[in-house]
Chains A and B, each alone.
Chain A
Amino acid sequence: MTDLPGPLAEIRDDFLSFTEKERLQLLLEFSNELPALPDRYAEHPELLERVEECQSPVYLFVDVVDDEVQVHATAPAEAPTTRGFASILVQGITGLPADVVLSIPDDFPLQLGLTAAVSPLRLRGMSGMLWRIKRQVSAKAAV
């Protein structure tokens, strides 16, 4: 398997240590743990980027401060799967240096052992989130 940054590798290993059914439970826990948006974004939705690949309305914003990446995301409670994916990326990526984020393998969503339990369409939504996060990081880290 491709090298993953520490926090994402830990998340992946957690998922893979469980049965398929338990993996969904873990995804639900991530979904419940998605941090609320900081006030400055909650009050300015126009700053957020819509993840078009997701069927549910998911928005995210990436900050790069002193080369450290921070990811913020929001998704509705009626879309727990999508929220779970956003939460994994928010928790797994925030705090990493920009170049490390850019090196995250694009197939990370497929490494979580969820391809049988969750439809490919959903996993593609997570790939869309990751791709957009990386694109924002490369734009903001270059400035």
Chain B
Amino acid sequence: MTVAFDPAEKFQQYAHPERLVSTAWLEAHLGTAGLVVVECDEDVLLYETGHIPGAVKLDWHTELNDPVMRDYIDGEQFARLMSAKGIARDSTVVIYGDKSNWWAAYALWVLTLFGHHDVRLLDGGRDRWIADERPLTTEAAQHAATDYPVVERDDAAVRAFKDDVLSHFGRPLIDVRSPEEYSGERTHMPAYPEEGALRGGHVPTAASVPWSRAVNDDGTFRSADELATVYRDEAGLGDADDVITYCRIGERSSHTWFALTHLLGIPRVRNYDGSWTEWGSAVRVPIAVGTEPGTAPGR
């Protein structure tokens, strides 16, 4: 069953207001039948230090990836995972996390690959919940296992692969990393350790729109008007565009994918999860360095 949407006025300006909930709404709805709250953090110990009462932990690193194939889990593994978390196919899932919801957005995007219908983000994530001084507990949540159906993962709609990007030149590519990563001065986030790309730079023709332009200082999403200014006016994206976003490993670009898809309502946006760790090391793919997008390679 679907839990009622958050009627907050800010959200009504977005293309899909049902995709966000506020911390106030969530606190008021904790324990509602049909609602499962999920915490997904970059730091794998953070949930244990205290989480929203009743929230289950989802580990993006160990639970969403196949241990052998570099890929996401398949339909059967996903059904087992959802069942173990107490999520039914018709559950309303609200995801939140650290770092302005990077990994929460990533988890939401993975749930989308399996067509989970009602999955929402907590606006502002974990930091906002804590800043609001809302309750936390260290008691791990236990939910009864569900009978989640086996649904085959469908990558076509929202996921892009390296070959898709190679044939995408001429259409919008959005690089959401920091300016230093885009220009090629570094291959990783400022203050992050080196993470495995052989070369620095960006995909030729990609526009630089750092993910953080979608959020306010407190990690909540900027208003619909502000988002339209950044993405429609400045980056020139329109509803007819076929857009691919990427970052370093696909988590920050999930965040931008969420903003473009659900908040601005651009119908065709895919996230390239291989991102720079794949592109910057792959054989026979072109890169551009410096602050300019660069030109599409000739064939």
Instruction: Determine if A66 is an interface residue (Cβ-Cβ < 8 Å).
Output: no
Given A116-B62, A121-B195, A124-B194, does the pair A80, B189 have CB atoms closer than 8 Å?
no
Q: Which residue of A lies closest to B67 (CB)?
A: A116
Task: Give the residue among B42, B45, B192 with the most A Cβ atoms within 10 A.
Answer: B45
Q: Is A42 an interface residue (CB 8 A)?
A: no
Is B61's CB within 8 Å of the partner chain A? yes
A28–B68 Cα distance when bound, in Å, is 28
Which of chain A's residues have a CB closer than 8 A to the CB of B189? 55
Asked if A125 and B44 make an inter-chain contact with CB atoms under 8 angstroms apart, the answer reads no
Q: Are A25 and B48 touching (Cβ within 8 A)?
A: yes
Q: Is there an interface contact between B48 and A80, defined as CB atoms closer than 8 Å?
A: yes
Question: Is there contact, CB below 8 Å, between B43 and A54?
Answer: no
| CB-defined contacts of B192 to chain A, threshold 8 Å | 55, 121
Q: A28-B49, A117-B62 are in contact. Are A53 and B44 (CB under 8 A)?
A: no
- Cross-chain contact A119 with B61 (CB below 8 angstroms): yes
Contacts A24-B44, A117-B44, A117-B62; A80 near B49 (Cβ below 8 A): yes
B193 and A54 contact, CB distance less than 8 A:
yes
Q: Is B24 an interface residue (CB 8 A)?
A: no
Q: Which residues 181-203 in B have Cβ within 8 Å of A in the complex?
A: 189, 191-195
Nearest-neighbor residue (CB-CB) of B138 within chain A = A28
**Contact status of A124 and B62, CB under 8 A, knowing A28-B45, A31-B45:** no
Min distance, Cβ A68 to any Cβ of chain B, angstroms: 30
Complexed CA–CA distance, A45 and B193 (Å):
22
**Smallest CB gap from A55: residue in B:** B192
Q: Which residues of B contact A121 (CB under 8 A)?
A: 192-193, 195
Given contacts A54-B193, A124-B193, A125-B193, whether A80 and B46 have CB atoms under 8 Å apart is yes
Which residues of B174-221 have CB atoms within 8 Å of chain A's CB atoms?
A: 189, 191-195
Please, what's the 1-or-0 string for B124-141, where 1 marks a CB less than 8 Å from any CB in chain A? 000100000000000000
Q: Nearest chain B CB to A102's CB is how many angstroms away? A: 23
Please, how many angstroms separate the alpha-carbon atoms of A137 and B167 in the complex? 53
Of chain A, the residue at the smallest CB distance from B49 is: A80
Question: Range of interface residues on chain A?
Answer: 20 to 34
Q: Inside 8 A of B44's CB, which chain A residues have their CB?
A: 24, 81, 117-119
**A34 within 8 Å of B (CB atoms):** no
Q: Does A78 contact B (CB under 8 A)?
A: yes
Using Cβ atoms and an 8 Å threshold, which residues of chain A touch B43? Answer: 56, 78-82
Whether A24 lies near B98 (C-beta < 8 A) is no
Q: Contacts of B195 on A, CB cut-off 8 Å? A: 121
Partner pick for B48 among A24, A116, A118, CB 8 A cutoff: A24
Bound-state CA distance A57–B62 (Å) is 25
CA distance A57 to B42 in the complex (A): 15
Q: Knowing A53-B193, A54-B193, A55-B189 touch, does A24 contact B45 (C-beta < 8 A)?
A: yes
Across the interface, B193 reaches (CB within 8 A) one of A28, A118, A128, namely: A128
Q: How far is the CB of B53 from the nearest CB of chain A, in Å?
A: 19
Q: Is the CB of B61 within 8 A of A84?
A: no
Complex Cα spacing A124 to B195, Å: 9
Per-position contact with B for A65-80: 1 when CB-CB < 8 Å, else 0? 0000000000001111
Q: How many Å lie between the Cα of A3 and that of B20 in the bound state?
A: 53
Our pick among A57, A81, A116, A119 for the contact of B45 (Cβ within 8 Å) is A81
Interface string of A105-121 (1 = CB under 8 A from B): 00000000000111101
- B194 — nearest CB in chain A belongs to which residue? A124
What are 20 contact pairs spanning A and B, CB under 8 A? Answer: A24-B45, A24-B48, A27-B45, A28-B45, A28-B48, A28-B49, A54-B191, A55-B42, A55-B191, A56-B43, A57-B191, A77-B49, A78-B43, A78-B46, A79-B43, A80-B43, A81-B43, A116-B62, A117-B61, A128-B193
Which residues from chain B sit less than 8 Å from chain A, CB to CB?
Answer: 42-46, 48-49, 61-62, 98, 127, 189, 191-195
Chain A residues proximal to chain B, CB less than 8 Å: 24-25, 27-28, 31, 52-57, 77-82, 84, 116-119, 121, 124-125, 128
Q: Please give 6 more A-B residue pairs, beta carbons under 8 A apart, in addition to A28-B49, A82-B43.
A: A54-B193, A56-B43, A77-B49, A78-B46, A84-B45, A125-B193
